[in-house]
Structures are given as C-alpha cells and as structure tokens.
C-alpha cells in the first residue's frame, strides 16, 4: 500500500523546477513599475524553446548550445517612469540573495550615470559552474537574472538580449 501511495505521489510530482522567490519588498516594486516582466523557464521548456530557434546563423547555433547545458532561466525586471522609484535598500536586498557562500561575486560595476551591475557565479564539482546571476540596477530599471546550469560568463554575454536577459558587452583587451 505504501509503495502504491509513493508511486502515485511520484507520478504526479510537479515536473517543473522551483522558481526562486524574490524578497517581498522587491515583489512590491511591480505595483510602482511602469512595466514589469517575469520570465520563468525550466529545463524542459528551454529545450522546447531551443527547437524554435532557427538554424540561421552562428549566433543561433551558439544559443542552442548554451541552452543545452541550462536547467533554468529566471528573470525579473522592473522599468520605472522616473528616477528614484526604487531605493538603495531594494537594490541591496536583490544583491543579498547572492551573499550565500555558494555564490561568488566576479564583477561589480558602479556608475552614477548608468547604475550598478553585479555578476555572481555559483561553483560546482570539477571546477564547473552551476549557475550565474546578474543584478543590474539602472536609474529607471532593476533587473535580476538567475541562470541555473552550466554556463560561463562568456556564454552569458552571448545570451544577452534573449529571454529578457540584459545585453552585456565584452570589453576588448588592449
């Protein structure tokens, strides 16, 4: 009987990954934002999305290859009509999610004109990456991206512009 119950439970377990939840103060920003976007794609959906990417160019092929190693993409973005709609404390609480010892901040850019951008990585066994996160706070836009799976910072740049992930630029070495 117990085995049968377990079998039933296993059959109807949700097949989707758990979307990371945001602190309540960040969720409340949606009420003040001119535009808010939430993207929540787990592995199986990403594989489906990958099939929709046409075989047109090298960039499309690269995106497909990146998606193959990803288990989830979660994006939360808020756009505001004027500066100062979100506080420094809101930005801090977005960053605080990644202060866990499993995350390491690899990039931190602070610009009065363009805002802050932090990139975090999560390590896994054998030196592989298990995830990457971006917190970008511009004067009128706050974006939090969390990608679960094997992805490098270089690949993150390639994913910019897809799935509502902000575009990142490679800095050319002199």
Taking CB under 8 A as the criterion, which residues in 125-164 touch another protein?
A: none
Contact letters (x/-) for another protein, 27-66, by CB under 8 A? ---xx-xxxxxxxxxx-xx-xx--xx-x------------
91-122 b/e (C-beta count within 10 Å ≥ 16 → b): beebbebbeeeebeeeeeeeeeeebbbbbbbb
- Pick the closer one to another protein by CB: 25 or 36: 36
Contact indicator for 160, 154 with CB cutoff of 8 Å = no
List, in order, residues 6 or more apart from 167 with CB less than 8 Å away: 160, 161
Cα separation, 13 vs 19, in Å, equals 15
15 by Cβ neighbours in 10 Å (0-12 / 13-18 / 19+) ranks as exposed
Taking CB under 8 A as the criterion, which residues in 67-106 touch another protein?
A: 81
Min dist CB 94 to another protein, Å, is 18
- Pick the closer one to another protein by CB: 49 or 103: 49
Q: Residue count at the site for another protein (CB under 8 A)?
A: 26
Residue 25 interacts with another protein (CB under 8 A)? no
Min dist CB 128 to another protein, Å, is 26
DSSP letter at 30 equals G
Q: Which of 1, 10, 14, 174 binds another protein (CB under 8 A)?
A: 14
Q: Which of 8, 59, 96, 128 binds another protein (CB under 8 A)?
A: 8
Min dist CB 12 to another protein, Å, is 7
Cα separation, 97 vs 167, in Å, equals 22
Chain contacts with another protein (rule: CB under 8 A): 8, 12-16, 30-31, 33-42, 44-45, 47-48, 51-52, 54, 81
């Amino acid at each position: 009987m117990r085995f049968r119950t377990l079998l039933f439970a296993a059959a109807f377990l949700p097949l989707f990954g758990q979307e990371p939840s945001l602190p309540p103060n960040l969720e409340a920003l949606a009420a003040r934002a001119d535009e808010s976007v939430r993207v929540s794609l787990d592995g199986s959906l990403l594989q489906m999305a990958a099939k929709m990417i046409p075989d047109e160019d090298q960039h499309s092929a690269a995106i497909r290859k990146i998606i193959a190693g990803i288990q989830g993409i979660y994006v939360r973005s808020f756009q505001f009509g004027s500066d100062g709609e979100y506080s420094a404390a809101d930005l801090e609480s977005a960053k605080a999610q990644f202060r866990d010892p499993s995350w390491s901040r690899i990039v931190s850019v602070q610009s009065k004109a363009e805002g802050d951008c932090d990139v975090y990585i999560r390590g896994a066994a054998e030196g592989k990456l298990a995830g990457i996160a971006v917190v970008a706070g511009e004067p009128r836009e706050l974006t939090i991206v969390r990608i679960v799976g094997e992805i490098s910072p270089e690949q993150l740049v390639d994913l910019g512009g897809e799935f509502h992930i902000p575009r990142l630029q490679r800095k050319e070495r002199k």
